[in-house]
Structure 1
């Protein structure tokens, strides 16, 4: 008993004809008949009786047919799975990123990709940059995004975005009419600050110190998205990445900040094993998702500064 005999039997049961079975398998009618005879000899009983111009399966053949059908259904599922893997539509991919990216923007940016991959299991973790680097080095995640550089023999690292922090203001704030906000403009303004362990806080505080401006911290929050919520409700102003606060596009404005406070986003991947095809495709999509904010690109103009663009409608 071999797979070609089973294919001939399965095709003949489906079509009811040796000729049509040969057409389905791409072989001649005599070749199908030879395979059926060999299969019957192996089984030890007759499989078909001739009835007019066609064949009628015996009771024994019908008993075999159900099991053979299940076998071929299984091979079809394997073929569909292989096709999905080849097209990067199946698999498991895990990503860890700082809260500024993971809380809202990545969900917004990656949703179109994931909507088209129903068989892809995706996990997104919100972690601090130091923790992201640990997870990648330990091979516990497939893709890490970090604002801290990381040098490790088992990790590949590349900068995929350099963005400038922006000043976040309530829509009706007196400073909202300015296209560029200078640190001096924020003197005595109630400030919504991030927690002391946030990687961007040191850079923000340094910008105030360099200009001799005392930052008036009024509220401390754990997330940039939370800061945007307070700003949207008129509690103060803040400095945040340009891709946060998508849900408040009608309540807040983003303005270019001087002096510029820039930060890099590093893409980290384990290099001790080849990435899955699904992970490779997701990496490409992540690059496209952050591209609108990458200041390294020639002629870059952040979408949040364009008068005709709403950040909430970005489609990377």
Structure 2
């Protein structure tokens, strides 16, 4: 027996007629009859009998029909899976990003993709940049976003965004009317800071040191989004990436350009020891689109 015989048998069982089975399969009626005879011979028993001008399946044929239907259902499942893989709608993709991106912004940017692909399992981890590079090198995640490049031989690194840090102030702050805030203006302001080992803080501190400005840290917190909460409540000022604190209205928190510019890069890290899945490729494309509004310089890959 072969698949064509099984198709002819299933179509005849479902339509109750050789002629209608032929129409469904797009072949001639004699071709279906020939397939049914060959299938019957393979089985060693009759499949149909004529009764009152109707084609009636035998008990043995009914028993076979159940298994044949299961087989074709499994085939259809394989076909659906193949379509989902081709359309990047199925699979598992794991991403690790610094807290400034992972806490809020990536959820906002990637939600439309994920809601349209319920069979795509997406895992997001919040890690510091050195740990992200380690996870990518060990092939424990598919995509890493890092503010540090990686020179590991098993990791490909691509700059996907270069952004300028911004200054955030309480809405009622005296400097809130300005279009830009100079680092020198923050000399005596209570500063809401990230933890001392945070890579972003290292960049901020270096900018203050270059200008010879002593930063007066009043509060130290683990997350940039937490900084925004303190600033919105009038506790102090800070310097953060432009993609944090987007949920706060201008009546709570004011976002201003920081001068001189204090740039940072975001790198996309991927393992190079195995090809990425189609789903991972699609997610990488969407991450590039998600960060594009904050990219101050077009960086060639």
State the match for 1:55 in structure 2. Answer: 55
Q: Which has the higher contact order (CA 8 A, sep 6+)?
A: 2
State the match for 2:204 in structure 1. Answer: 204
Q: Distance in 1 between matches of 2:86 and 2:51?
A: 45
Q: Distance in 2 between matches of 1:153 and 1:26?
A: 55
Structure 2 counterparts to residues 147-166 of structure 1, below 5 A: 147-166=147-166
TM-score when normalising by structure 1: 0.92
Please state if 1:269 is matched with 2:270: yes
Q: Distance in 2 between matches of 1:37 and 1:176?
A: 87
State the match for 1:72 in structure 2. Answer: 72
Q: Distance in 2 between matches of 1:282 and 1:205?
A: 33
State the match for 1:169 in structure 2. Answer: 169
Range moving further from structure 2, 4-13 or 243-252: 243-252
Q: Distance in 1 between matches of 2:52 and 2:159?
A: 74
Q: Distance in 2 between matches of 1:51 and 1:72?
A: 28
Displacement, 1:54? 3.5
Per-residue CA deviations over 1:220-256 (Å, capped at 9, x if unaligned) read: 0011111011111111111000000122234211100
Displacement, 1:43? 1.4
Range moving further from structure 2, 197-206 or 83-92: 197-206
Count of residues in correspondence between the two structures: 298
State the match for 2:261 in structure 1. Answer: 260
Please state if 1:116 is matched with 2:116: yes
Any idea what SS the aligned residue of 1:246 has?
coil
Q: Distance in 1 between matches of 2:64 and 2:4?
A: 15
Displacement, 1:211? 2.2
State the match for 1:309 in structure 2. Answer: none
Q: Distance in 2 between matches of 1:53 and 1:118?
A: 49
Q: Distance in 2 between matches of 1:160 and 1:127?
A: 18
Q: Which runs of 5+ in 2 are unaligned?
A: none
Structure 2 counterparts to residues 1-316 of structure 1, below 5 A: 1-250=1-250, 251-297=252-298
Q: Distance in 2 between matches of 1:196 and 1:68?
A: 66
Displacement, 1:52? 4.2
Q: Which runs of 5+ in 1 are unaligned?
A: 299-316
Range moving further from structure 2, 40-49 or 206-215: 206-215
Per-residue CA deviations over 1:93-135 (Å, capped at 9, x if unaligned) read: 0000000000100000000111111110000000000000001
TM-score when normalising by structure 2: 0.96
Displacement, 1:212? 2.3
Q: Distance in 1 between matches of 2:75 and 2:210?
A: 68
Range moving further from structure 2, 206-215 or 85-94: 206-215
